[in-house]
Structure 1
């Protein structure tokens, strides 16, 4: 994430953005594995 985005976002907005980014990353990871976690230990 660009540093200007972090500076521009106060606490609540930053935490919301992090939640959205986390959700997107999890969705992309699930799409890569076909929705099945082959290695649950490394999925975290």
Structure 2
């Protein structure tokens, strides 16, 4: 089942980024504040 989550503020004038890696597997249980992706931005 897909779940939406929001990213924290990425900084001034940064509106998008590329997912570099996914740090969890399908079926994993997540903890609050656990990193789930590595995101790369232009800055």
Q: TM-score range by the shorter chain?
A: under 0.3
Looking at secondary structure, tell me which structure has more helix per residue: 1
Please report the TM-score for the alignment, with normalisation by the length of structure 1.
0.22
Please report the TM-score for the alignment, with normalisation by the length of structure 2.
0.22
